[in-house]
Chains A and B, each alone.
Chain A
Amino acid sequence: MSARLGMQGGNLARRRIRGMMFRGFCAAMTAAGVILLVILLTRIWREGAGWVDWQFISSFPSRFPEKSGILSALVGTLWLIALTALISVPLGVGAAVWLEEFATRNRFTRLLDVNISNLAGVPSIIYGMLGLTVFVRGLQLDRSLLAGSLTMSLLVLPVIIVASREAIQQVPKAFRHAALALGASKWETVRHHVLPAAVPGILTGVILALSRAIGETAPLVVIGAFAYVAFVPEGPMDDFTVLPIQIFNWASRPQQEFHELAAAGIIVLLAVLLLMNATAVWIRHRARRSRPW
Chain B
Amino acid sequence: MVATAADRRPQPDPEEGPPTVPDALPAVLEARSVTIRYGDNPAVREVSLEIPENRITAIIGPSGCGKSTLLRAFNRMNEFIADVTMDGGIHYRGENLYGKDVDPVEVRRRIGMVFQKPNPFPRSIFQNVSWGPTINGMALKSELPALVERSLRQAGLWDEVRDRLDDNGFSLSGGQQQRLCIARALAMEPDVILLDEPCSALDPVSTSRIEDLLFELKQKYTIVIVTHNMQQAARVSDFTAFLEAGKLVEFDETEAVFTRPSEKRTEEYVTGRFG
Contact residues of A with B, CB < 8 Å? 105, 172, 174-185, 188, 192-193, 197, 291-293
Contacts and interface: CB of A to CB of B under 8 A. Distances in A.
A182 B186 CA distance: 10
A176 B80 CA distance: 10
A183 B82 contact: no
Interface of B is mostly: helix
Nearest to A172: B119
5 contacts: A178-B121, A182-B108, A182-B131, A182-B185, A292-B169
B249 interface: no
Nearest to A178: B119
B112 A177 contact: no
B82 A174 contact: no
Contact of A180 (B77, B117, B131): B77
Nearest to B181: A178
Interface string B174-186: 0000000100110
Given A175-B119, A178-B115, A184 B105 contact: yes
Nearest to B119: A174
B136 to A, nearest CB: 6
B113 interface: yes
Interface of B: 75, 77, 80, 82, 105-106, 108-110, 112-113, 115, 117, 119-122, 131-132, 135-136, 168-171, 181, 184-185, 188
B112 A182 contact: yes
Contact of B80 (A105, A177, A197): A177
B121 A181 contact: no
B154 to A, nearest CB: 16
Given A178-B115, A183-B188, A293 B122 contact: yes
B118 to A, nearest CB: 9
Contacts of B170: 292-293
Contacts, number: 69
A201 to B, nearest CB: 14
A193 B77 contact: no
Given A177-B115, A292-B170, 19 more contacts: A172-B119, A174-B117, A176-B80, A177-B77, A177-B119, A180-B108, A181-B112, A182-B135, A182-B185, A183-B105, A183-B106, A183-B188, A184-B132, A184-B135, A185-B105, A192-B135, A197-B122, A293-B122, A293-B170
Contacts of A183: 105-106, 108-110, 132, 135-136, 188
A156 to B, nearest CB: 29
Contacts of B109: 182-183
Nearest to A174: B119
Contact of A174 (B112, B115, B184): B115
Contacts of B115: 174, 177-178, 181
B108 A105 contact: no
4 nearest A-B pairs in the assembled complex, by CB-CB distance: A183-B109, A292-B170, A174-B119, A182-B132
Nearest to A181: B113
A44 to B, nearest CB: 45
Nearest to B110: A183
A67 B191 CA distance: 78
B8 to A, nearest CB: 35
Contacts of B80: 176-177, 180
Contacts of A193: 121
Contacts of A185: 105, 135
Nearest to A188: B135
Given A175-B121, A177-B77, A292-B170, A192 B188 contact: no
B169 to A, nearest CB: 8
B131 A181 contact: no
B82 A181 contact: no
A180 B136 CA distance: 12
Contacts of B122: 175, 197, 291-293
A122 B156 CA distance: 59
A188 B137 CA distance: 13
Contacts of B121: 175, 178-179, 193
Contacts of A177: 77, 80, 113, 115, 119
